[in-house]
């Protein structure tokens, strides 16, 4: 079911909260002409369509071109598509967060490596880490927390990615 030009003019005028007289004044026609447009008795001329589009704040083509309202199934499909888009965005954010967490874990590991240095004790070289006991435990805990957090994020990413793929493959049962 298409919405006619007259119905669009009527709905747009009502949405703007203006009377037929006010619209007629803005367009430069009589109130009766606006009434004829709204009842589809007469189609507005090209010049009047331009004036109408300006007065109603829409593109001329919106008033003039045929328009079919969305069915409930189409609305549901758009909602599902939006949901997929949101999940994909969350997935991308989580990938970014996981990358940052992994970078922090690598940074901590590198810092521990920098704090270590070779010590020559005669016939062999020994690698020692000069971290006091009061520094070692917090650094170790921070590294473990970062690694565990990274593992949790990877699991979440895998779940979300799996859900996104399932939804893309799932047939829309509402379509006919």
Q: List, for residues 112-160, the tens digit of each pLDDT value.
A: 666 655 555 666 656 565 666 666 677 777 777 877 877 887 787 778 7
Mean pLDDT, range 87-105, rounded to an integer = 79
40-57 pLDDT per residue, tens: 999 999 999 999 988 888
This prediction has a pTM of 0.41
Distance (Å) of CA 20 to CA 6, 28, 68, 161, 169: 12, 12, 25, 54, 50
Mean pLDDT, range 70-95, rounded to an integer = 73
In whole angstroms, what is the distance from residue 38 CA to residue 33 CA?
9
Residue with the two structure tokens 């803005």: 26
Nearest Cα residue to 70 out of 170, 3, 168, 167:
3
Residue with the bigger pLDDT between 153 and 172: it is 153
**For residues 119 and 128, is the Cβ–Cβ distance under 8 A?**
yes
Q: What's the pLDDT at 174?
A: 47
Q: State the chain's mean pLDDT as an integer.
A: 77
Residue with the bigger pLDDT between 143 and 8: it is 8
Residue with the bigger pLDDT between 22 and 133: it is 22
CA angle 41, 45, 46 (to 5 degrees): 145
Q: What's the pLDDT at 176?
A: 42
The torsion angles phi and psi of 111, rounded to 5 degrees, stand at -60, -40
């Amino acid at each position: 079911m298409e919405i006619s030009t007259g119905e669009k003019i009527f709905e747009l005028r009502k949405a703007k909260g203006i009377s037929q007289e006010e619209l007629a004044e803005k367009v430069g026609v009589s109130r009766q002409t606006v009434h004829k447009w709204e009842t589809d008795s007469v189609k507005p001329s090209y010049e009047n369509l331009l004036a109408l589009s300006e007065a109603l704040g829409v593109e001329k083509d919106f008033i003039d071109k045929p328009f079919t309202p969305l069915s409930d199934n189409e609305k549901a499909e758009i909602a599902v598509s939006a949901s997929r888009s949101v999940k994909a965005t969350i997935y991308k954010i989580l990938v970014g967060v996981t990358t940052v967490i992994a970078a922090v874990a690598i940074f901590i590991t590198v810092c521990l490596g920098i704090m270590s240095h070779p010590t020559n004790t005669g016939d062999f070289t020994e690698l020692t880490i000069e971290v006091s006991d009061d520094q070692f435990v917090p650094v170790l805990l921070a590294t473990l927390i970062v690694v565990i957090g990274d593992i949790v994020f990877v699991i979440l990413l895998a779940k979300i990615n799996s859900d996104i793929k399932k939804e893309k493959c799932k047939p829309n049962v509402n379509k006919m």
